[in-house]
């Protein structure tokens, strides 16, 4: 799958559910309306869809959501997808999770061939954690991270940088993650979906964070890559890595290798654009994958050059109306 700008699409992120057991302030409103269950692809259909992308050259697959681990029987789908790891068609199967269910599932994930996961933790202060996630518990997530590490999974911590919320904690978070052999990635908040808060108040450019961290830590740019948009630095004092994902202050689209598919089978060629392709109809139209392959090919030819996120006080509406939990972070 090569797009019109010569970029090979080898990475698929799949949102297996739009539901979640948290209500993070920057991601969802407290009383979200979720999709009716009948709209969702079954796990078998999701498996077929993922497998079609693997046939077409996807090498890395990340399950996300909503919270992927709240989708019932997800382990059966992972078990089925792991056949592609065994044949070598798929190089990596990973997940982005809020960590709340990991005590229950970490061992199974490892047994099914998963080796790395990202866990989203924006703060290591229990009260703040409650305030950001509304419904989450830091103790539970910490127990989940312990279970994941014990199971043999490599854990990376993702934190959205939020002005006035967690910007006094990055030093502590470096010590916490690197002390446990985990990488830390900071992410700029993006204008996706209506939320109750004002995004201008939350937006913190990571260039500012880098300058702030450089006063305390020796940061060295390194070429380390995980296939995602993060740019990594080594923190000399800890020997650990810190990644920066800067969709707002630096446009990383030129090296974009990914597309996203939702739990209803909608393919988004870019996180920051509205254009999408329906894959559910071609998937259901025939037991053979011909129509599905054709729809995927046609959509890849429409992959846009990039996004154009802006957060400012004059522009109150989000750049993209769908929430991150729909497209999958
Ligand atoms: N529930 C899982 C989790 O929280 O890791 C997976 C889905 S969540 C939508 C994926 C990632 O997107 C999380 O790291 C979350 O912090 C991030 N995210 C959600 N809304 C965002 C936004 N508006 N801007 C930047 N990151 C966002
Ligand atoms: Fe749920 Fe993840 Fe969104 Fe938080 S960021 S509400 S955990 S989907």
* Three-class secondary structure assignment of 297-324: HHHHCCCCCCCCCCCCCCCCCCCECCCH
In a domain, 255, yes or no: yes
Residue in the block written with tokens 């919270």: 67
What confidence score (pLDDT) does residue 15 get? 96
Which residues are paired to 131 by β-bridges? none
Name the closest ligand to CA 123: 1
Are the beta carbons of 141 and 99 closer than 8 angstroms?
yes
Atom of ligand 2 nearest to the CA of 133: 4
Question: Residue by residue, what is the 3-state secondary structure of the chain?
Answer: CECCCCCECCEEEEECCCCCCCCCCCCCCCCCCCCCHHHCCCHHHHHHHHHHHHHCCCCEEEEECCCHHHCCCHHHHHHHHHHHHHHCCCCEEEEEECCCCHHHHHHHHHHCCCCEEEEECCCCCHHHHHHHHCCCCHHHHHHHHHHHHHHCCEEEEEEEEECCCCCCCHHHHHHHHHHCCCEEEEEECCCECCCCCCHHHHECCHHHHHHHHHCCCCEEEECCCCCCCCEEEEECCCCEEEEEECCCCCCCHHHCCEEEECCCCEEECCCCCCCEEECHHHHHHCCCCHHHHHHHHHHHCCCCCCCCCCCCCCCCCCCECCCHHHHCC
Of 145, 142, 18, residue with least CA distance to 70: 18
Structure confidence by residue, pLDDT tens digits, 99-146: 999 999 999 999 999 999 999 999 999 999 999 999 999 999 999 999
Atom of ligand 2 nearest to the CA of 136: 7
27 alpha carbon – ligand 2 mean position (Å)? 6
Question: Which is it for the CA torsion 196, 329, 123, 144, positive or negative?
Answer: positive
The residues lining ligand 1, judged by C-beta closer than 6 Å to any ligand atom, are 20, 26-27, 64-65, 67, 96-98, 120, 158, 160, 187, 189-190, 192, 324-325, 329
Backbone angles phi, psi at 46, to 5 degrees: -60, -40
Atom of ligand 2 nearest to the CA of 67: 8
What confidence score (pLDDT) does residue 247 get? 78
> What is the Cα–Cα distance from 122 to 273, expressed in whole angstroms?
26
What confidence score (pLDDT) does residue 150 get? 97
> What is the Cα–Cα distance from 276 to 253, expressed in whole angstroms?
17
Q: Count of CB atoms within 10 A of residue 88's CB?
A: 8
Is there an atom of ligand 2 within 6 Å of 28 CB?
Answer: yes
In a domain, 6, yes or no: no
260 alpha carbon – ligand 2 mean position (Å)? 17
Atom of ligand 1 nearest to the CA of 27: 20
Of 135, 192, 324, the one to substitute when testing ligand 1's pocket (max ligand atoms within 8 A of C-beta) is 324
In a domain, 300, yes or no: yes
Backbone angles phi, psi at 36, to 5 degrees: -65, 145
In a domain, 252, yes or no: yes
98 alpha carbon – ligand 2 mean position (Å)? 7
In a domain, 4, yes or no: no
Atom of ligand 2 nearest to the CA of 324: 3
Is there an atom of ligand 2 within 6 Å of 70 CB?
Answer: no
In a domain, 244, yes or no: yes
Is there an atom of ligand 2 within 6 Å of 24 CB?
Answer: yes
Are the beta carbons of 70 and 21 closer than 8 angstroms?
yes
Ligand 1: residue whose CA is nearest its atom 2: 97
Are the beta carbons of 96 and 134 closer than 8 angstroms?
no
What CATH number corresponds to the domain at position 224?
Answer: 3.20.20.70
Name the packing angle between helices 102-111 and 138-151 (round to 10°).
Answer: 20
| Residue numbers of the chain with a pLDDT score lower than 50 | none
pTM for the predicted model, two decimal places? 0.92
- Domain tally for the chain? 1
Residue in the block written with tokens 């497209």: 327
In a domain, 1, yes or no: no
Backbone angles phi, psi at 80, to 5 degrees: -65, -45
Range of the domain at 91: 11-327
Are the beta carbons of 305 and 249 closer than 8 angstroms?
no
Residue in the block written with tokens 């808060």: 197
Atom of ligand 2 nearest to the CA of 65: 8
In a domain, 131, yes or no: yes
229 alpha carbon – ligand 1 mean position (Å)? 15
Is there an atom of ligand 2 within 6 Å of 17 CB?
Answer: no
């Amino acid at each position: 799958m090569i797009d019109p700008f010569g970029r090979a699409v080898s990475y698929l992120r799949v949102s297996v559910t739009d539901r979640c057991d948290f209500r993070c302030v920057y991601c969802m409103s407290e009383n979200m309306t979720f999709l009716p269950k009948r709209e969702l692809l079954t796990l078998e259909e999701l498996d077929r869809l993922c497998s079609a992308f693997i046939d077409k050259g996807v090498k890395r697959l990340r399950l996300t959501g909503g919270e992927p681990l709240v989708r019932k029987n997800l382990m059966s789908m992972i078990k089925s997808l792991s056949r592609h790891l065994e044949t070598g068609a798929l190089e990596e199967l990973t997940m982005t999770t809020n960590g709340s269910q990991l005590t229950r599932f970490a061992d199974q994930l490892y047994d099914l061939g998963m080796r790395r996961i990202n866990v989203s933790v924006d703060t290591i202060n229990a009260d703040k954690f409650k305030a950001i996630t509304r419904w989450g518990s830091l103790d539970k997530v910490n127990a989940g991270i312990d279970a994941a590490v014990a199971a043999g999974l490599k854990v990376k911590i993702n934190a959205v940088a939020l002005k006035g919320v967690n910007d006094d904690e990055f030093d502590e978070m470096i010590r916490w993650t690197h002390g446990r052999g985990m990488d830390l990635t900071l992410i700029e908040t993006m204008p996706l979906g209506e939320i109750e808060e004002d995004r201008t108040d939350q937006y913190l450019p990571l260039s500012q964070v880098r300058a702030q961290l450089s006063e305390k830590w020796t940061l060295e740019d390194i070429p380390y890559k995980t296939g995602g948009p993060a740019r990594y630095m080594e923190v000399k004092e800890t020997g650990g890595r810190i990644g920066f994902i800067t969709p707002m202050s630096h446009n990383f689209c030129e090296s974009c290798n990914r597309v996203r598919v939702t739990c209803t089978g909608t393919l988004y060629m870019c996180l920051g654009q509205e254009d999408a392709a329906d894959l559910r109809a071609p998937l259901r139209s025939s037991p053979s994958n011909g129509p599905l392959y054709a729809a995927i090919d046609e959509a890849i030819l429409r992959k846009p050059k990039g996004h154009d996120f802006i957060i400012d006080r004059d522009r109150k509406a989000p750049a993209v109306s769908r929430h991150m939990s729909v497209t999958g972070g």
